[in-house]
Amino acid sequence: MDKYLGNKYYHLGDSACFAGSDPLIRKAVKKYNKTQIKDWLRAQDAYTLHVQRRKRFPRNKYIVNNIDDLWQVDLAVFNNLAPYNDGYKYLLVVIDVFSKYSWVRILRRKTGKEVNKALESIFAADKRKPQNMQSDKGKEFISILSKSFFKKHNINFYTTRNPDTKAAVVERVLKTIKSRLWRYFTYKNTLRYIDIIHAIVHGYNHTRHSSIKMAPAKVNESNILQVWRTLYKKKDKYQPAKFKVGDTVRVSKEKKHFAKGYEKNWTEEVFTISRVIRHPVPVYELKDMSGEVIDGTFYEPELQKVIVPKSKVYKIDQILEMKGTGKNKRVLVKWKGYPSKFNSWVPASQIMDIV
C-alpha cells in the first residue's frame, strides 16, 4: 500500500500529487478503502504539516457565579492615533465577566508599571476588585512586577493558554468600544478620543447587554441570581469526543498576521493525548514524547491526529557537537521542531541526507 499510494501522492504530474485527501481517495479508492488512505496520509509529514487549520470554532462558556468573580483585561494599541491624543498610545480595557461591566484607562507606555497603576486606579475608584483576573500572555501582564502586584491584592491571576486565543469576553467588549469610537470619529471628523472615552464606556455600561438581558450597570447584589439564570439556564448538549487517550497528534501553530495558509500550520513535534476532559465541547490534555504533561488544554480543531510509523526518519535542525572517530563517531543533534530538552547523541552512521 505504501508504495502504491506513494507513487500517486509523490509523483509530480499525477493529479493527486501533493494534494488534499479527496484527490488521492478518488484515485485509489478502488484498491484501498477511505480509512486506509486517510491513515496513510496521517503518516506523511508533507501532508499533515500543511493541513488547513480552523481558527474559529465553538468553545466552552466561561462559568462565573458572581460579580467580581473573574475580570478579564486587554490592552488595545492605538499607535497611529497618538499624535492626536497627547502621546497616549494604549487603551487598557477591563471587564467583569459576570455583569459585563467595563472600565478603561489610557496609557502612554506598555509596561507592567503603567498597567498596575491603571488597575490600582480602577480598584480605588469603584472600591472593588476581582478574585480572579485573566489576560493574554502580554509581557505587561506577566512581568515580575505584575506578579507582585496581583499577590499584594490577593488576586489569582492567570493567562489564556493558546496564543491564538484572546480572553474572549474582554476582546468582545473592546470591539464594541472601538465600533462606537470610530463612529464618533466619523461624526466629529476627529481622531481624538482621550477626552470622551469614558463617556463612550459609560454609554456601553448603560446599554442592555444581549447575554444578561439588562444593562451591565444595573447588575447588583439583589439580582445576581436572575442574571445567573439568564446566562446559564440553557443546558448545553455534550459533544462526543473525537480523540481518545493514547492518540498521537500535532498541535495547531500560532500564526502571525498575514501568515500564508500554505505554510506549515502544525507543529513538527508530535504529542500524545493523556486525558479527555468532558465538557459540552470536549478538550484534551497532552504529554510530549518524554511523558511531560503540556500546560493547558486543547480543543479538537487545535489538534490533528497523525500516525508515527516505526520507520519514521526525524529531521535534524542543527549538529551541535561531535566526538569520537570512525565507527565510534557520535554527534549531538537538535531535532527539527523539537525543544532543546530532546537534543541527543546519535551515531554518526545513522545520519543521512534526504533529497
Low-confidence ranges of the chain (pLDDT < 70): 57-60, 161-166, 234-236, 254-263, 353-355
Per the structure block, which three cell numbers stand in for 43? Answer: 503518516
Same domain for 243 and 327, yes or no, is no
What pTM did the predictor assign? 0.64
| Residue that is last in its domain, among 171, 197, 232 | 232
Instruction: Kindly report the CATH number assigned to the domain that includes residue 217.
Output: 3.30.420.10
Q: Mark whether 197 and 250 lie in a shared domain.
A: no
The pLDDT of residue 254 is 66
> Do 141 and 216 belong together in one domain?
yes
* pLDDT value for 177: 94
Task: Give the three cell numbers for residue 174.
Answer: 473592546
Domain boundary among 217, 232, 247: 232
For residue 339, give its domain range.
Answer: 316-350
Residue 61 maps to a domain = no
Other CB atoms within 10 A of residue 349 CB: 11
The b/e string for 172-186 (b: 16+ C-beta within 10 A; e otherwise) is ebbebbbebbeebee
Q: Are residues 14 and 120 in the same domain?
A: no
Tens digit of each residue's pLDDT (9 = 90 or more) over 190-219: 999 999 999 999 999 999 999 899 999 999
Helices 2-9 and 21-28, axial angle in degrees (round to 10): 120
Is residue 85 helix, strand or coil?
coil
pLDDT at 260: 46
Number of domains in the chain: 4
